Structure 1
Amino acid sequence: MKRSISALLLMFLLGLSAASSAGPNYLPAQQRQVYRDGDALVVRNTAILNQLVDEAIRILDENPSIHRLWLIDVPGGFGVPAARLASRAQELDVYVAGGCYSACAEVALSGRVLHVVPWRDGRLASALIIHGAFAMNTGEWVAQGLNNLARYAERLDPISRADIEAALRFPSPTAAGLFIFTDKSVRDAKGQTVLLCEYFPSKCRSIDVTLEQIHIAKSDEPVPPEVPADDEVEQGK
């Protein structure tokens, strides 16, 4: 049992390392990262960047029948494009498969309803992670998302506002913040659904809540298939 727990924690930390780099060696070269699948917009295996959000908004504008947003193994991104996508996510039901860290969590928690889906083939450990961010203009860690504190507190009740604010103020986002484990195997490894970590995994405090109590619904919806980057056929037709 100890070996399996260690392996899961190692997988989690490796996922965080990948999220922090989010470079060409992490992103798959031959796979679309944002595309339509029937009534869903899919964002997959990519950081949330302006160019990606431009394409996502174009797809939403051209396909008013879309009412779902899938976030699949999204390691983070930048605050401004995340805020743009989050504003559109308010109109959509959001489904998360695998890791949804940092800027991705901001988008996910903006959704009309938030669902988590079991995901066995993910690159990132299945969790939502909320934390501060790096300010490019000052070179400092800042409390990104504090302007969203009231919304987070409402969506994640009964997690206290103080705990959420603490997560947004932690200065080392790669290994600090509010960790919401969405996959049963990872939750079982740590024994809790939610951890508030000053430094993961050694300096953490558990918060005794379930996914249901923080208004995150479990779903058996199948994960949309991957789409090759050179596939010019519009999905969903």
Structure 2
Amino acid sequence: MGADLSTAANAESSDEFLKAVLGAAYDPNTSLGQDFDPSTLLPPQLKSATTEDLKELRDLAARHSQKLRAQIKAHSANNNAGFIETFTSIRDGLGSAATASRSDANQHLNRYSNIVAYDATRVLVPKNKENFNCDYVNANWIPSEGPRKYIAAQGPVPASLVSFWQMVVEHDARLIVMLTNEIEGGKLKCHRYWPDDNMAKPVKKVKIGTYIVSFEGEESFPTYVHRKFKLYLESGEARDVSQMAYTA
């Protein structure tokens, strides 16, 4: 069964979408479970906790929050010297193998040369004509002890737009958490990869590869924007995908 033709007919092509996003910078040759339920993250034992258990938990949380506030205050002194020292001491893991990320053939799919996807945990997408028979996307699986799975992905560049949404489809991602703004400090940090009727040239739907992404609405909060999309697959299946874009 093919995609709904009425939906496809109203969708912008990926090239038209990129033109709307990039404007004069457009170059045609540049080439995430079900609805989230926070209660599922609670330890099973809390569902039958006694009053004493809850009091102990609150007291523990209070002690840890006091310790956290003290650490933040100490690290913030002298122009955040403590945070800077801690950040620079973090091992970036560049000693790990990242053959696919460092391959010359995939450089146009990376936003930064020093942020790589490690071979051992990188996310694969099936090769097809839409991604030029390439299984690479700059993303890695994050280990988790719970049933949920997480992916850390680089903000897409125009050339990786198809692979990014293919990753969302293939691994059935229903929630995208965006931790960067599109522009920060006057620098482009992430190309817009979603349709948005609030753009200078409104785009309600966009066809990306064999998928259609439809903008269904958004709600703004003090520190983030919650956007809703409908993702149409070639089979005719429609999925709800949410994006939490943090703006603080």
- TM-score using structure 1 length: 0.31
Give the structure with higher Rg (CA).
2
